């Protein structure tokens, strides 16, 4: 169950139902960076929306009553085997995007930045992640511009509309 607004009240809702109904709901996104490089992941083909697309380091929905930072740490470990990084809360972003399959992501996202190194030990969970790579911020923006369909809607939104919030000093 994830926190979503129903008739103006925040309440626990099954995740798939929140996406099918396009409900506004809480989310967490993490960007791990090393200098100008960003760690991105390719979503597993088994994901029920946006399978095989490239996304930021990690993104998820907190469980009902779960704090955003605790959620971010949990999912970094569950998805990528990453532990021990310090998370810097960068702010809150809201977006609404069609993610295919008659589903909508309408998220109020707590965004975190973590600084690491490109030799950071990774253990991707194959149920969540198909591939990972480090890519320079400018190169990522160029790739998204050249072929946006390879990237999740939220990553495209983050880099187009919220670069200063996420990566600024």
Q: How many residues does the chain have?
A: 169
Question: Does the annotation list 107 as a binding residue?
Answer: yes
Name the residue among 67, 55, 57 with its Cα closest to residue 30. Answer: 57
The answer to whether 14 is annotated as binding is no
- Is 73 annotated as belonging to a binding site? no
Q: Of these residues, 58, 71, 107, 110, which one is catalytic?
A: 107
110 is catalytic: no
User: Would you say 19 is a known binding-site residue?
Assistant: yes
Q: Is the dihedral of CA 46, 4, 78, 116 positive or negative?
A: positive
Catalytic residue among 59, 71, 78, 145: 59
**To which H or E segment does residue 12 belong?**
strand 9-13
Q: Where are the alpha helices (DSSP H) in the chain?
A: 15-21, 68-80, 137-146, 153-161, 163-167
The residues assigned a catalytic role are 59, 107
Annotated binding site: 19, 25, 61, 79, 105, 107
Annotated binding site for Mg(2+): 79
Annotated binding site for Mn(2+): 19, 25, 61, 105, 107
């Amino acid at each position: 169950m994830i926190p979503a607004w129903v008739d103006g009240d925040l309440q626990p809702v099954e995740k798939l139902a929140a996406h099918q109904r396009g409900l506004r709901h809480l989310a967490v996104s993490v960007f791990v960076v090393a200098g100008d490089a960003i760690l991105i992941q390719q979503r597993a083909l088994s994901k029920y929306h946006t399978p095989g697309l490239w996304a930021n380091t990690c993104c998820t929905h907190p469980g009902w009553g779960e704090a955003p930072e605790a959620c971010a740490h949990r999912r970094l470990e569950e998805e990528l085997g990453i532990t021990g990084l310090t998370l810097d809360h960068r702010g809150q972003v809201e977006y609404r995007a069609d993610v295919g399959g008659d589903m909508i992501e309408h998220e109020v996202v707590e965004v975190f930045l973590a600084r690491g190194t490109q030799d950071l030990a990774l253990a991707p969970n194959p149920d969540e992640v198909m591939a990972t790579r480090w890519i320079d911020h400018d190169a990522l923006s160029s790739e998204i511009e050249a072929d946006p369909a390879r990237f999740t809607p939220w990553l495209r939104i983050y880099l187009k509309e919220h670069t200063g919030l996420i990566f600024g000093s």
